[in-house]
């Protein structure tokens, strides 16, 4: 079975069709496929238009309960933590950019931040003032298993008992690798 894609005018019975499995693959794509990408896929794969896994957009962490959006684009993964409007208004965010490695896993940076406050005592004025500032951080992140129903990996993060020195925007203590598991979030 195929879908007629091209017919030469002035000929009898000379038609060109695309195999139905290719059509299925094209219909499942969420982006256009230009000729350069098609040529690259044809050079590296037997079935260049085979359906690629469809990844849900929203994921929930089984370790922290937080939600995030995920976008898979070929050899790159983009992640964004979903934060409340109040947190976002205070400068809170979390974003990740990962690239595929030769072993099939993904590695990149997790950037996050938010506002914090500390009390500053001024000898000149003999008063205490509350100072609020925004701190940003960057840590390595790795995804070792990527599938449409489960994602596993790890991120290097401040330990559970690490204290933030807001004045210096630094955590006290050494960061540790923390494993994570994400599953599709129920809609």
Residues 6+ apart with CB under 8 A from 17: 2, 3, 4, 5
- Residues 65, 39, single domain; the answer is no
Which pLDDT does position 178 carry in this prediction?
A: 95
Beta pairing, strands 15-19 & 58-61: unpaired
Nearest to 167 by CA among 134, 126, 128, 124: 134
Give 10-residue mean pLDDT values along the chain (187 residues).
Answer: 58 65 66 66 59 82 93 93 91 95 96 91 76 93 95 93 91 92 89
Under 8 Å between Cβ of 137 and 155: no
Type and span of the H or E element at 169 = none
- Residues 65, 152, single domain; the answer is yes
- Residues 97, 23, single domain; the answer is no
Encoded tokens for 90: 């205070």
Written as one string, the DSSP assignment of 1-16 is: -EEEEEE-TT-SS-EE
Nearest to 70 by CA among 85, 81, 86: 81
- Residues 110, 151, single domain; the answer is yes
Which pLDDT does position 28 carry in this prediction?
A: 65
Under 8 Å between Cβ of 102 and 125: no
Q: Does a structural domain hold residue 157? A: yes
Q: Rounded to two decimals, what is the model's pTM?
A: 0.68
Residue span of the structural domain in which 134 resides? 58-184
- Residues 93, 132, single domain; the answer is yes
- The backbone region for 33, taken as left when phi is positive above 0, alpha when psi lies in -120 to 50, beta otherwise, is beta
- Residues 40, 67, single domain; the answer is no
- Residues 77, 130, single domain; the answer is yes
Phi, psi values for residue 159, rounded to 5°: -65, 165
Which pLDDT does position 62 carry in this prediction?
A: 94
- Residues 64, 117, single domain; the answer is yes
d(CA 132, CA 117): 4
- Residues 77, 134, single domain; the answer is yes
Q: Does a structural domain hold residue 52? A: no
Q: Does a structural domain hold residue 49? A: no
Encoded tokens for 62: 């089984």
Q: How many domains does the chain have?
A: 2
Q: Does a structural domain hold residue 51? A: no
- Residues 72, 134, single domain; the answer is yes
CA separation (Å) from 152 to 5, 100, 104, 149?
Answer: 41, 14, 13, 10
- Residues 22, 77, single domain; the answer is no
Length of the chain: 187
- Residues 178, 105, single domain; the answer is yes
Encoded tokens for 3: 């879908």
């Amino acid at each position: 079975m195929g879908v007629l894609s091209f017919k030469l005018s002035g000929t009898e019975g000379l038609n060109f069709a695309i195999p139905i499995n290719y059509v299925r693959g094209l219909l499942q794509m969420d982006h256009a496929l230009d000729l350069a990408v098609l040529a690259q896929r044809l050079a590296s794969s037997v079935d260049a238009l085979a359906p690629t896994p469809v990844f849900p957009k929203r994921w929930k962490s089984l370790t922290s309960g937080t939600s995030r959006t995920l976008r898979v684009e070929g050899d790159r993964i983009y992640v964004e933590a979903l934060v409340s409007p109040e947190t976002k208004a205070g400068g809170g965010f979390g974003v990740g950019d990962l690239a595929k490695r030769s072993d099939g896993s993904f590695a990149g940076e997790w950037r996050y931040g938010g506002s914090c406050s500390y009390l500053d005592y001024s000898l000149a004025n003999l008063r205490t003032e509350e100072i609020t500032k925004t701190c940003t951080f960057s840590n390595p992140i790795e995804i070792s298993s990527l599938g449409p129903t489960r994602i596993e990996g790890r991120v290097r993060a401040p330990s559970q008992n690490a204290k933030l020195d807001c004045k210096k925007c630094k955590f006290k203590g050494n960061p540790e690798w923390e494993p994570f598991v994400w599953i599709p979030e129920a809609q």
